[in-house]
Amino acid sequence: MHTDKLVHMANEIATYFEAYPEDRARRETLGHIRAFWEPRMRSALGEHARAGGDGLRALAHWAAEQL
């Protein structure tokens, strides 16, 4: 899967949870990615975040760094 598609998907998840209090938004965003994304997708997103995370919203970037 292309990185731009992963970034888009992660940003959609983060956008949904941004309305929650910060600690819950972080927990839910990370939890969703861990529960529903296959390992290769999580790995690629984590690598993208560690390489700078271009295009990721702040919440998505934080979650990606935790992977």
Whether 1 has a pLDDT exceeding 90, the answer reads: no
Amino acid at 13: I
Residues in the chain: 67
Q: Tell me the whole-structure pTM to 2 decimals.
A: 0.94
Residue 35 structure tokens: 């529960």
Q: Going by C-beta distance under 8 Å and a sequence separation of 6 or more, which residues neighbour residue 12?
A: none
Per-residue pLDDT reduced to its tens digit, 26-66? 999 999 999 999 999 999 999 999 999 999 999 999 999 99
Which tokens sit at 63? 């979650």
One-character DSSP codes across 2-14 = -HHHHHHHHHHHH
